[in-house]
Amino acid sequence: MAATPMYVELVHGGSFTENQAKINRETVSEGAYPHLYGDEIPSEIRIDQRSVLIRADSVESTALGGTDVNTARSVDGNPKLPKIRTGINTFGFKLKYPPIAIFRDSNGKLYKINGKTRYTILVDEWNYEWIIVDIYEANEGYLKDDIDYALHIFGQSANIEDDPSGDTSIEDLFHGCNIAIHRGWIDKDDNDVPEWDSIETHLIKVCRNNKLTPVTMSGLIARVIGQYDEIVTGKRYWESVGKVQEFITSGGYMNFKKITPQKDENENVIRKGIKYLVFETSEYRRAFPAATTWASKNPDYEVRIVYYRQYMKAYDTATNWTETLDRNVLHWENSISQVGDVYFSSKAKRQTKRCYIYGAVPSLKSMHDLGKLVFLDEDSNWSQKN
């Protein structure tokens, strides 16, 4: 009798089967993963269904320029994605690991809370229609903010231990602390500075038995507090897209609000409208298709991209800030060139300049006035206007 296959060879446009979901459910031991199925799950949430099939398109997408429910990582996806992709392509998708974790909210909407890398490979790259997932729900009696914090802890904790998902780095923990501060999950003192003990308590919840060494813990907490105090560090932490939008529309030099198109009495456009779209610098791969799609659907608008870097590492330099933005510009230009090479002849006029990178918000006091936008000029240099 042939042994039951413990892996799936992926095919484009494929789907997992009920039998494969059953194999996954029976193979993955609940006792081996207490942080996913046992007493280490935050009390605000619970596992509702294990290893079930759902349609991939039933999982909610993120808002334009927004962030996903899974806020575990500080960078654009899992840095180990190439290695994980190669492993799956070579050895198949293994059924011996816990599946993608999905949260079902009170309205029945589904969101990824762990396993974004595998979701990317299965759905975005292989176009899988039916996928195997675990479904979590909120326990009764908790406020939404308490549940959000539990999901935040769950996502970061899962990335520390799960074999397929890679390691949570110090950068991810730092990123998570900043989110927790601005969501009010980490307490502040009377001077509005995050409290040392509260940060430590948060990190212990995330790391559980994977304890940071005392030196690492102290260094990380000191960095979180130092980064947060902009007056001392000269570094600005940008909490969200909303904060950037609020900044660029604040008036004076920063009055970059959406402008609607102007038309004459015959409905002919005499002046295009202007739309500002905000993206975090790590979203540069997503920014080009998202922005150009919006521009295509709204032909009467000029679309301007504004980037922000959520936080600067303690050891970053001014050069690093510039190089990060230059990487985004290069990716944008290469994307335009690739599309042009495929669909237009070399003699065709293919650039309308109706959708382009406009500027970035400042992050370093040593480089810029923190109260003004930094613009990208025609020579691809970043500078502020007087």
pLDDT at 133: 97
Residues 100 and 135 in one domain: yes
pLDDT at 278: 96
Residues 256 and 311 in one domain: yes
Task: Tell me which residue of 161, 160, 158, 110 sits closest to 135, measured CA to CA.
Answer: 110
Residues 121 and 173 in one domain: no
pLDDT at 164: 38
Is residue 235 situated within a structural domain? no
Last residue of a domain, one of 123, 150, 165: 165
Last residue of a domain, one of 142, 165, 188: 165
pLDDT at 215: 81
Residues 251 and 350 in one domain: yes
Give the residue ranges of the chain where pLDDT is below 50: 1, 63-70, 73-76, 162-167
pLDDT at 87: 85
Is residue 234 situated within a structural domain? no
CB 80 within 8 Å of CB 166: yes
Is residue 236 situated within a structural domain? no
Residues 214 and 314 in one domain: no
Residues 265 and 184 in one domain: no
pLDDT at 349: 62
Summarised one tens digit per residue, pLDDT across range 316-363 is 667 888 899 999 999 999 998 888 777 776 666 656 689 999 999 998
> Kindly report the CA angle at 170 between 326 and 34, in degrees rounded to 5?
130
CB 65 within 8 Å of CB 282: no
Last residue of a domain, one of 228, 253, 271: 228
pLDDT at 330: 95
Residues 288 and 341 in one domain: yes
Is residue 24 situated within a structural domain? yes
Residues 50 and 66 in one domain: yes
CB 119 within 8 Å of CB 16: no
Residues 52 and 201 in one domain: no
Domain count, the chain: 3
pLDDT at 134: 97
Q: How far is CA 194 from the centre of its chain?
A: 24
Radius of gyration of the chain (CA): 23
Summarised one tens digit per residue, pLDDT across range 15-73 is 999 999 999 999 999 999 998 999 899 999 999 999 999 999 999 865 443 334 445 54
Is residue 233 situated within a structural domain? no
pLDDT at 276: 96
Q: What is the residue range of 10's domain?
A: 1-165
Is residue 297 situated within a structural domain? yes
